[in-house]
A and B are shown apart, each in its own frame.
Chain A
């Protein structure tokens, strides 16, 4: 059992007085290990609020460096961080918010060779990635290791959030079984995004992560939340586990990880 310092009692007082969180819940957060794949638009706000919430250990995965065009939405990075590896910049901000957090940087691409070993050390995975091949691989890795995947996606003015929990509900491939062919989605360079939108969705992902770690509320397992920033409408779609899912279905032959082709790059 953890013993809170006086500073921690003060820091987390607003959590501790919530009946649904309390001392037990806060202790769970302090003992939790969360892997955030991608320190971009979604990973940034999620990491900020998870740090504030007292997540004990972070794993941050991103191979990229901070660029000027990132700053419109990747709020964990600042102008002073231009050119810095995103995982380094993110660690600095996380620790500025919460010095008690332990942060492990993985400045690398997510590949089939390494991701399973990385994921094993964490309680859940938050998907902040920006392409289908990585999402597919992350999904496979979470299925094989039994880790919950908190999903988020954004484009233009629309966002989505869900939770993919192995053996409890559908996986990402039950939702999107195949990668869209080139030409079916905007090319990576052409897509636009309202800067605040990943803020909304990333924080919803962080909310789901906290609920799962504490064990309160109803997580979005089997549910896809749809957010339309223009109309301010929030809708929900039921997601069902697909018995024919190529990843988690009855006839799935997923026994090892493989890297998926980046059709978006091929299209460019």
Chain B
């Protein structure tokens, strides 16, 4: 299943995102409600924790799109080429959870790849509720939440 090359290894446990990709993901997630929206997250090579671009993709799942998502593999390859031309790397994926919390589902766990950031947007009744970022820990076989650096 995990046959596509991993370009970025996530050795850090934090992330940041710019306003533009954030808005892009937000609009896509809300716009596709009640279906799951999905897309690809891109980061500069020198700053792989910093999401500078979000690329909305088609939800290519053959199952119920309200509860499943699949990033179209062809689009993935196209985005990879697009990213290379701009010295960006694919650093993760986003998808939305219509009427569900921003917590990875069992399906998300089955198809997780180590080394990527997974950003989940929860959309309830067509309105953005919350977002959380996760990374897959292959040793512990579970998702771990990833936070933006701040201080309390």
Contact = CB atoms under 8 A, between A and B. Distances in A.
Taking residues whose C-beta sits less than 8 angstroms from the other chain, chain A's interface range is: 35 or more
Nearest to A178: B18
Interface stretch (B9-17, B32-40, B71-79, B108-116): B9-17
Interface in B26-78: 46-47, 49-50
Contacts of A185: 147-148, 150
A183 B30 CA distance: 14
Nearest to B151: A130
A42 B151 contact: yes
Interface in B125-147: 128, 130-131, 147
Contacts of A217: none
Classify the secondary structure of A's interface with B: loop
B17 A235 contact: no
Contact of A158 (B13, B23, B128): B13
A199 to B, nearest CB: 13
A155 B150 contact: yes
A188 B131 contact: no
Contacts, number: 87
Contacts of A268: none
Given A153-B150, A160-B14, A185-B150, A178 B130 contact: no
Contacts of B152: 41, 130, 154-155, 188, 191-193
A63 interface: no
B120 to A, nearest CB: 12
A106 interface: no
Interface residues of B, number: 23
Contacts of A41: 151-152
B49 to A, nearest CB: 8
A152 B150 CA distance: 9
A111 to B, nearest CB: 19
A131 B47 CA distance: 21
B105 interface: no
Contacts of B151: 38, 40-42, 128-131, 152-155, 198
Given A158-B13, A237-B12, A242-B47, A131 B150 contact: yes
B150 A237 contact: no
Given A185-B147, A191-B150, A193-B152, A176 B130 contact: no
Given A178-B17, A178-B18, A242-B47, 17 more contacts: A129-B151, A131-B150, A131-B151, A132-B150, A153-B151, A160-B14, A160-B149, A177-B18, A177-B47, A178-B16, A178-B19, A180-B148, A183-B128, A184-B22, A185-B150, A198-B151, A235-B11
Q: Sort A-B residue pairs by CB-CB distance and give the 7 closest, nearest first.
A: A130-B151, A153-B149, A185-B148, A181-B22, A193-B152, A178-B18, A191-B152
Interface of B: 11-14, 16-19, 22-23, 46-47, 49-50, 128, 130-131, 147-152
